[in-house]
Structure formats: structure tokens, C-alpha cells
A = this chain, B = another copy of it.
Amino acid sequence: MFNAIVRAETLQDTLDSVGVLVDECKIHLEEGGLEIRAVDPANVGMVDLSLDSGAFESYDADGGLVGVNLVRLQDIADMADNDQLVHLELDEETRKLHISVDGLEYTLALIDPESIREEPDLPELDLSATIIVEGQDIDRAVTAADMVSDHIELGVEETAEIFYIDAEGDTDDVHLELEREDLIDLVVGPASSLFSLDYLQDMDRAIPKNAEVTMELGEEFPVKMHFDIAEGDGSVTYMLAPRIQSN
């Protein structure tokens, strides 16, 4: 059983956060809210999302699991205005999801969850540095880095208490340094890892410019990026595997 009403913008933000990594996903319809975990086909980027029942105008679920075509579902959600209410209702028998907005009803065939790539286990990592930074700073660095390179280094200079982003191209370089005062918070520790810019760009697209992003970093370890959606009633965690240092 699943029957819920949610603002279109909340649904859009939720779907976009996952849709930057995968085209299909499993959605857990838990009593307390929705839960989605997915990993991209290359096993490099993961997303762990929860959207609490409090993010909904009304919410009723008892623990089902559905598989959805995210691209299609995003198209439907994008048709609604931000403030319009979207009614979602699962038909258990036909395995279809009824989505209605202001009289318009869309019947979406679900996908057998068995046919969707298995959900990843998010590894417990002991990451030594924590940086809390505005989404727009990530966006600026990623956009600039893309002009010169296809990979990017994230790190912390412990003594100077600086978070840095570095991209080295064949001729040109991009470097962003954010001091403690430019950041929302910083816990220093040995941290420096290289990442694929493609993945970071995908994740960046889903991070609101005004979000407080909690980034956890280590030495040649994955990066975790966490931010809230739905005014705190939902949360997204991305994890991105490092590339092997090229230098």
C-alpha cells in the first residue's frame, strides 16, 4: 500500500538527486518515508536518499518496494508547477503507479525490482577531514575545473586550515582555496584525493546552490557529500570513489 501527496518541487528535487546517477532505481516505500539507494553502472558514484513522511502533505505506506523508470517519472513531475500537489498511488494488482496533478492522471508501469541493478552497501568509512561548504562554491570550482581537465583533486591543508580544489590541465590550471572563514565549518585532518570530474559534475547539478554541503574526505579515499532536501525532511548522501593519483 502506498498513497501519498507531495509538492511537485519536493518530488522533483528527490528524483533529480538520484536521476543524475541512474535511469532506473528501486524505491522503498517505508512507513516513515521513501528510501532510495543506487549506484551508477560503473560502480563509481553512489547515492543514498531518504525523504521522510514529514516532507509529504499526506503519506501512507507499509513497506513495499517498487522499481521505477526515473527519466519518465522526472518528465511527469517536471510538468507540474513547483507548488502544485502531486498525488501518488500504487495499484498493487496491476503494479502501476497512478500519478495525478490537478485532474491529469498518469499511469506509470513499474519495473520489476529484480531487473534493476542491486543496491550498493554504503561502506563505513573513517574519513579524517570534514568540510561544510556552500553548494555554489562546489559549483564554481567544478565549472572552472571542467575548462582545463577531466579530473579534480579535493584536499585539506592542515596547518593553514584550508580546503582546496585543484584541477591541472595540459597548459592551464584551476585552483580554489577556501579558508576557515570562507567555510561554514572545517575539521582538518590528512585529506587529499583525486576524482573524476564527470561524476562530480553530475552530483553538482543536483546540489542546490544554497545548500550546506557536508563533505568528508580522506587520503585517496572516497568523498562523501551530504545535504538536505525538502527543508530538512529529506537528505541525500553521495559517495564517489577516488581515481588513482596520476602524479
Chain B residue with Cβ nearest A104: B176
A residues contacting the other copy or chain, number (CB 8 A): 26
Please give, as numbers and ranges, the residues of chain B lying within 8 Å of A205 by CB-CB distance: none
Cβ-defined partner of A103 (8 Å) among B76, B173, B178: B178
Q: How far is the CA of A76 from the CA of B230 in the complex (A)?
A: 33
A174 within 8 A of B: yes
* Number of identical monomers bound together in the oligomeric complex: 3
Asked if B105 and A174 make an inter-chain contact with CB atoms under 8 angstroms apart, the answer reads: yes
Chain B residue with Cβ nearest A171: B109
Interface string of A160-188 (1 = CB under 8 A from B): 00000000000111111110001000000
A58 within 8 A of B: no
Please give, as numbers and ranges, the residues of chain B lying within 8 Å of A104 by CB-CB distance: 140-141, 144, 174-176
Q: How far is the CA of A53 from the CA of B144 in the complex (A)?
A: 27
By Cβ-Cβ distance, the 10 closest A-B pairs, closest first, are: A109-B171, A107-B173, A105-B175, A104-B176, A108-B172, A106-B174, A109-B172, A75-B147, A104-B140, A104-B144
The interface of chain A, by Cβ under 8 A from chain B, is 72, 75-76, 79, 102-109, 140-141, 143-144, 147, 171-178, 182
